[in-house]
């Protein structure tokens, strides 16, 4: 833990994190943890751009800001475009010798602001090659507005706009694979991870930021309210996501795939699902949906094989 993959935790405790205390995220939310860990690996000064969402709202409740670094929020669907403008301004102004050297640019959004409404502006920014890192804190739904389904919501999850009812068992469609979509832009660095191991997350964002050009990091974070879990269990749930291969931990550096975590043993996806209230309807006595649980397992298995073959 103290020194994994070049990350020395002890040295990091003196690091001044751009995201400070006093934000209004729910107790035990994974999003601020993900972003704080992300920033731990960045030694340079940063400028942060956030898409509308829980993190943006809860860190900027007027007249306070939880950002020690400069922070910009424009709207929901355009963090990619906003960071493009800031980064372009920096390039031209640095040529004139203005502002500090070595500023890094980090944009973030939830899955709603990244997979759905913000995908176009993100894609544009990735294609244009701006030097920035985009972090998606992916809690698999629209949490800021009350747990609606997004294109990141997995099949069978109970969401407020895809509820588990008498006829339909939660969301009917699979989640979009945004990490692969990002990789298809042929950008230098793409990764996905979760909160199972801070060293993995810190290391990935560090590589993302230090790689010139655009980088994309997709971080699975639980939303305690939507996922219906005990806030204290957050890390446990993230470990289940990684161990069950539901959320493969890997990176794509300059087109080269590397699986960063190959779980020992075979944790069934069922364990990950069963631990969360959003799948409770699959396990209801008398109307258990073994078919959907098995489908989830077979989809995870197929994705894992595909990933290993890359």
Partner 1 sequence: MSGGGLCWQDVLPGTVTLGASSQSVETGLWRSVRPVLDAGKCVSCLRCWAQCPDASILTGDGGSVLGINMFFCKGCGICAQICPVGAISIRPESDFQGEAVSSGRGVGPLKVGELVG
Partner 2 sequence: MAFAEAMRQINPDVVAAYPITPSTEIPMKFAEYVADGLVDTEYITVESEHSAITACVGASVAGARVMTASSANGVGLMHEIFPIAAAFRAPIVFGLVNRSLGAPVNIHCDHSDSMPERDSGWIQIYCEDAQEVYDTALMSVRLAEHPDVLTPVFVCQDGFITSHCYEPVDFLDDEAVTEFVGSREPRYPLLDVDNPVSYGSFVMSEHYFEIKRNQMEGMENALRVCREVSGELARITGRDYPPVERYRTDDAEYVIVIMSSAAGVVKDVADDLRSRGVRAGCLRVRMFRPFPSEEISEALSGVKCAAVLDRSASPGGTPPLAAEVRSALYTSCCAGNRMPSPVQSFIYGLGGRDLYPGDVESVFEGLSRGEHFLAPRYIGLREGTGGEERGGR
Phi, psi for 122 (deg, rounded to 5) = -65, -45
3-state secondary structure 76-119: CCCHHHHHHHHHHHHHHHHHCCCCCCCCEEEEEEEHHHHHHCCH
70 touches partner 1 by CB under 8 A = yes
> In whole angstroms, how close is the CB of 38 to partner 1 at the nearest point?
12
Q: Which of 121, 160, 114, 162 is nearest to 137 (CA)?
A: 114
> Which residue in the set 234, 241, 242, 249 belongs to the binding site for partner 1 (CB under 8 A)?
234
Q: Which does 254 bind (CB under 5 to 8 A by kind): partner 1, partner 2, none?
A: none
Phi, psi for 200 (deg, rounded to 5) = -65, -45
Tell me the torsion sign for CA atoms 46, 47, 51, 53.
positive
Binding mask 227-266 toward partner 2 (x if CB under 8 A, else -) reads ----------------------------------------
> Which residue in the set 43, 98, 127, 230 belongs to the binding site for partner 1 (CB under 8 A)?
230
> Which residue in the set 42, 47, 66, 107 belongs to the binding site for partner 1 (CB under 8 A)?
66
97 touches partner 1 by CB under 8 A = no
100 touches partner 1 by CB under 8 A = no
> In whole angstroms, how close is the CB of 283 to partner 1 at the nearest point?
23
> Which residue in the set 38, 50, 71, 223 belongs to the binding site for partner 1 (CB under 8 A)?
71
CB 212 within 8 Å of CB 272 = no
* 146: helix, strand or coil: coil
204 touches partner 1 by CB under 8 A = no
132 touches partner 2 by CB under 8 A = no
CB 194 within 8 Å of CB 112 = no
> Inter-axis angle of helices 234-243 and 30-40, to 10 degrees?
70
20 touches partner 2 by CB under 8 A = no
Residues lying near partner 2 in the complex (CB under 8 A): 45-47, 49, 56-58, 60-63, 65, 67-75, 77-78, 80-86, 88-93, 95, 98-100, 103, 120-121, 123-124, 127-128
């Amino acid at each position: 833990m103290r020194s994994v993959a070049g990350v020395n935790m002890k040295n990091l405790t003196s690091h001044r994190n751009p995201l400070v205390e006093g934000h209004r995220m729910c107790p035990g939310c994974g999003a601020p943890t993900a972003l704080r860990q992300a920033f731990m690996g960045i030694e340079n000064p940063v400028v942060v751009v956030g898409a509308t969402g829980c993190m943006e709202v809860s860190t900027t409740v007027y007249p306070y800001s939880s950002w020690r670094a400069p922070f910009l929020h424009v709207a929901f669907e355009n963090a990619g475009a906003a960071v493009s403008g800031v980064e372009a301004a920096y390039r031209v102004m640095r040529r004139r010798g203005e502002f500090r050297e070595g500023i890094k640019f980090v944009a973030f959004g939830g899955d709603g602001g990244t997979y759905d409404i913000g995908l176009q502006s993100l894609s544009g920014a990735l294609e244009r090659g701006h030097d920035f890192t985009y972090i998606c804190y992916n809690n698999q739904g629209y949490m800021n507005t009350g747990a609606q389904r997004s294109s990141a919501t997995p099949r069978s999850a109970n969401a407020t706009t895809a509820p588990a009812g008498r006829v339909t068992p939660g969301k009917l469609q699979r989640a979009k694979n945004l990490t692969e979509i990002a990789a298809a832009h042929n950008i230098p660095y793409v990764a996905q991870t979760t909160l199972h191991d801070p060293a993995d997350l810190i290391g990935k964002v560090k590589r993302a930021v230090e790689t010139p050009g655009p980088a994309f990091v997709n971080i699975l974070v639980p939303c305690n309210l939507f996922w219906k879990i005990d806030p204290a269990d957050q890390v446990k749930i993230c470990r289940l996501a990684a161990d069950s291969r539901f959320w493969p931990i890997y990176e794509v550096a300059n087109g080269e795939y590397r699986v960063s975590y190959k779980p020992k043993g075979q944790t069934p996806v069922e364990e990950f699902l069963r631990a969360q209230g959003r799948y409770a309807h699959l396990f209801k006595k008398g109307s258990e949906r073994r078919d959907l649980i098995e489908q989830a397992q077979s989809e995870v298995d197929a994705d894992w094989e595909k990933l290993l073959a890359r």
